[in-house]
Structure 1
């Protein structure tokens, strides 16, 4: 037996306050967009829920798309039955048998929305559970801690029967909390930071700094693949590919000591801020996690962050590496992130980067670089914009 429909539950955050109707509308539109290739689907929006009528479309294929819709808390495959006791009982039994767990402890929970139905909720609990027990002797009823809870909703025109609940992404609907620029390296952390920012309702554009020809085209393709993974949750994402070779080499000519990385990072932040102004973003998202590397001590992050005036959002700042890796595996970016292609931050790396930079000294060095502002503007002018979608195909094999 195949499900007839899917019941979608919107996240609790989307249902609070005056923003509820706006959030519901955004999630509803994202749901329809995510499954637009399935032409036979039809939709019904109710308070806090969306119902998708499958109309013979594949549940398995549709649910894969739904698992990436931001703001969607959970969903359930639903079997429908006419408002007749025998039909409800037989459909409920078939739904239980689909779980392939004949030894489970279960309970039946009936919700009678249609008050004209001749049996009340308590009567229906017993009538449906008793019918299932007779048909499957290995089952046992446990009303306190059941392994399976079979739910039956008696609505105006039909009964809805379901037991499974698939966890969605949750969070806020896409773009409901504004727009930010994601500073995206090729590492593990920044794609995870981008995902968490998306889940908080931010629409993202990605910014990547490359030092071609010192860094290869392979590293740039790697970043495109990471953006493609994030695009699975957000739709097409604009990727800004910033040529950083000139700035990096000129800074290295002037200064090669322990503050080199601090100077580079400040230049990156300033370029990203300029791009944010040009493309209507209000914040910068980064993948810093406190204490992981020299540029991610509290003092380093303070000095680097002082280079810009826009807010800096650091979703990973107090997370452990193993937690970050777990999320990277969940969103399917980990295997791409660990591919051994260099990024620009590995170029000219000093042996002992400063963990406690002085803002006064850093600003003094920058003032001696009279050419720096012009170089930053030129990097912005030469930045290439690429739209990346979730269908971006891996090209690593072709690069060897």
Structure 2
């Protein structure tokens, strides 16, 4: 106990306080004193040496003591960690990773809750540059710090987009892109045994993310689409991106496939009937199969 008391005194030196409290927890129940007895003895020593008052309810300073089988740990500060669950205990998800700010944060929030993330990225090279491909691999590497070895599926999407542009009404283009991405992603989810899709969508952030449009996009999916950021605004998402280390990569300029051939006036409240009619000229099964036949994959981390 002498060593514990002296070490506790050293720990509180240099701190500003008028009152203090000692809290003790024992994992080694064979220690000769109980937790309240340790707290009382150490607390009395600290009060005697510093002149501080004891305050059990609202102290200026708390000294924590943890007694284990071989050691005693003493601290006066608690640093908030990330928290969460071990990766994989909550199952596997397929994250639609765009290269922007939002989807990496959505991925991180699912990883934090114990989901193992597999990634899928749609790109429109050669109509866009390769920057989005490079960014997605870099973002997956950052997320692999928590997600460990991570599989990234890359889907060439340019030809499919051209088909949509030439055969469907302009206001529905982006929604039809998203529905086709969802169909393809769902097939890939089956390949990797993922139980849900994950997107970085936030309610009403852009035209395709109104409540009505989100409903019409997910209507063609047979597995859940999880949207961890649905109720967060951009400032909150940016703060998280900065905290997890993806913001600088996400904000490097790149051309996103969904920004290709964007109509001047996109539909903000498309109905299921309107989208079904817009897709009536498309051979959906053939388009999905073509995309899957050209699928590439990379392992990172």
Whether TM exceeds 0.5 here: the answer is: yes
TM-score under structure 1 length normalisation: 0.70
Distance 1:209 1:145, change over 3 A: same
Of 91, 96, 117, 1:204 maps to 117
Given that 1:103 and 1:140 are in contact with CA atoms closer than 8 Å, whether structure 2 keeps it comes out as: no
Distance 1:304 1:86, change over 3 A: same
Residue number in structure 2 paired with 1:373: 285
Which whole-Å CA distance do the structure 2 matches of 1:196 and 1:211 have between them?
A: 27
Of 10, 14, 18, 1:94 maps to 10
Q: CA deviation at 1:384?
A: 1.2
Given that 1:110 and 1:122 are in contact with CA atoms closer than 8 Å, whether structure 2 keeps it comes out as: yes
Which whole-Å CA distance do the structure 2 matches of 1:281 and 1:118 have between them?
A: 52
Q: CA deviation at 1:114?
A: 5.7
Q: CA deviation at 1:103?
A: 4.1
Residue number in structure 1 paired with 2:206: 293
Which whole-Å CA distance do the structure 2 matches of 1:142 and 1:112 have between them?
A: 22
Residue number in structure 1 paired with 2:215: 302
Correspondence list, 1:128-143, <5 A: 128-136=42-50, 141-143=54-56
Correspondence list, 1:84-233, <5 A: 85-97=1-13, 100-103=14-17, 105-111=19-25, 119-136=33-50, 141-233=54-146
Given that 1:297 and 1:355 are in contact with CA atoms closer than 8 Å, whether structure 2 keeps it comes out as: yes
Given that 1:211 and 1:245 are in contact with CA atoms closer than 8 Å, whether structure 2 keeps it comes out as: yes
TM-score under structure 2 length normalisation: 0.91
* Alignment coverage as a number of residue pairs: 301
Distance 1:383 1:140, change over 3 A: farther
Given that 2:94 and 2:185 are in contact with CA atoms closer than 8 Å, whether structure 1 keeps it comes out as: yes
Which whole-Å CA distance do the structure 2 matches of 1:116 and 1:222 have between them?
A: 55
Tell me the alpha carbon deviations over residues 206-250 of structure 1, each in whole angstroms, 9 at most, x when there is no partner: 111100012212221111222122111110111111100110112
Which whole-Å CA distance do the structure 2 matches of 1:177 and 1:111 have between them?
A: 31
Structure 2: tracts of 5 or more residues without a match: none
Structure 1: tracts of 5 or more residues without a match: 1-84, 390-400
Higher relative contact order (CA 8 A, sep 6+): 2
Correspondence list, 1:234-383, <5 A: 234-370=147-283, 372-383=284-295
Which whole-Å CA distance do the structure 2 matches of 1:104 and 1:248 have between them?
A: 68
Which whole-Å CA distance do the structure 2 matches of 1:114 and 1:301 have between them?
A: 54
Which whole-Å CA distance do the structure 2 matches of 1:233 and 1:129 have between them?
A: 40
Distance 1:331 1:105, change over 3 A: farther
Correspondence list, 1:13-24, <5 A: none
